Amino acid sequence: MIDETDLITVYRSADTNAGQDAQAIQELLVKGGFDARLFGDNALEVVEGTYEVRVPRAEGEAAEELIGERATADDPEPVDPSHDLDLVTVAMTDGTTGEMEAMAIQSVLDANEIDSVIVGNSVLPTMGFEVRVAGEEQRDAEAAIEEAKAAGPEAALEAEEAGEHAV
């Protein structure tokens, strides 16, 4: 029998689904032949709201490798560490019509297949709104916005009418 003082923590979580995640890690390790044990916050030295999975010290390194392999296998695609996807502001609006203007700009970007988000608070519309896109799409977004401004409201009406006739 293993002395609990010889166990080391190989997984710890305080997420809302920490118990389920820790149980899945424990099951993975047990299937892999490890003597893995699950500890909730009712155990000594476990922070409230936290779950841990512990193994004997001698199994620690191999257990961490197995957990790492699982994490890699669960990731659908590798994370892009570049700043190309950082959000940049392409338009700022304010005043009583600021939110509607931001939504109109977002519609222009949507029509050009450019994903965007509006940052602002409808409760405090005088604080203004920003339309943001991924940094890699900034030039395309700015060009689409300028093209829409140059075409003016008449172009929007024409496009709407053309869309109604296409149905």
Per residue in 4-42, pLDDT (tens digit) is: 778 999 999 888 888 999 999 999 999 999 999 999 988
Alpha carbons 34 and 147: distance in angstroms, whole number: 62
Note the pLDDT tens digit of each residue in 85-115: 789 999 999 888 889 999 999 999 999 999 9
Sorted by where each begins, the domain ranges of the chain are 4-74, 87-166
Closest CA to 106 of 90, 122, 95: 90
Res 71: pLDDT: 65
Gap between the Cα atoms of 34 and 36, Å rounded: 6
Q: Is 140 exposed, middle or buried (0-12, 13-18, 19+ CB in 10 A)?
A: middle
The pTM of this model reads 0.49
Q: Strand order of the sheet with strand 37-39?
A: 7-13, 51-56, 37-39
What is the dotted CATH code of the domain comprising 4-74? Answer: 3.30.70
Q: Cβ of 118: how many Cβ atoms within 10 Å?
A: 17
Distance, in Å, from the CA atom of 83 to the CA atom of 133, rounded to the nearest integer, reads 12
Cα dist. 93→51, 103, 117, 141 in Å?
Answer: 46, 10, 13, 16
Could you give phi then psi for residue 99, rounded to 5 degrees?
A: -65, -40
Which tops the pLDDT comparison, 162 or 143? 143
Which helix (H) or strand (E) segment holds residue 113: the answer is none
